[in-house]
């Protein structure tokens, strides 16, 4: 593959599959005429895409990093806008309590209240 971004990612020891995933969004760009700073910006974005891809496989395990989605519709606004640390905390507490990650029960609400200081029982959405 004659793609500068792909080559940069391969040098950082990402797998071929991950590099293809990271560069697919930018496949229509001509990297030969691109500035170094623009290419660096795209590299950072591609690396975040790769980290998100990796984190998808970690959902439901202790290796979860707080990047990929794991929640149900009821909690999406709180969990989309929070930090990776808060997402990891909620994820780990759901697992510790033996709850389904996509569930929306009263136990889920209690954990969300604990982490975010919301009252989902009074304001369900």
| Predicted TM-score (pTM) of this structure | 0.78
Q: Let me know the angle formed at the C-alpha of 53 by 94 and 61, rounded to the nearest 5 degrees.
A: 30
CA nearest to 48, candidates 9, 85, 79, 83: 9
Taking the C-alpha atoms of residue 94 and residue 106, their distance in angstroms, rounded to an integer, is 12
pLDDT tens for each residue of the chain, 125 residues long = 458 889 999 999 999 999 999 998 887 887 777 788 888 999 999 999 999 999 999 999 999 999 999 998 999 989 999 999 999 999 999 999 999 999 999 999 999 999 988 665 554 43
CA nearest to 73, candidates 23, 21, 108: 108
Task: Please identify which residue in the block is written with the tokens 């984190």.
Answer: 55
CB 68 within 8 A of CB 58: yes
Q: Where are the beta strands (DSSP E) in 11-72?
A: none
């Amino acid at each position: 593959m004659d793609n500068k971004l792909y080559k940069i990612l391969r040098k950082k020891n990402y797998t071929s599959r991950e590099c293809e995933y990271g560069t697919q969004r930018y496949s229509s760009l001509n990297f030969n005429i691109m500035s170094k700073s623009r290419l660096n910006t795209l590299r950072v974005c591609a690396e975040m895409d790769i980290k998100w891809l990796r984190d998808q496989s970690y959902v439901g395990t202790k290796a979860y990093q707080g990047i990929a989605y794991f929640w149900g519709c009821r909690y999406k606004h709180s969990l989309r806008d929070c930090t990776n640390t808060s997402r990891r905390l909620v994820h780990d507490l759901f697992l510790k309590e033996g709850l389904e990650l996509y569930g929306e029960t009263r136990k889920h609400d209690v954990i969300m209240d604990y982490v975010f200081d919301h009252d989902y029982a009074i304001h369900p959405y």
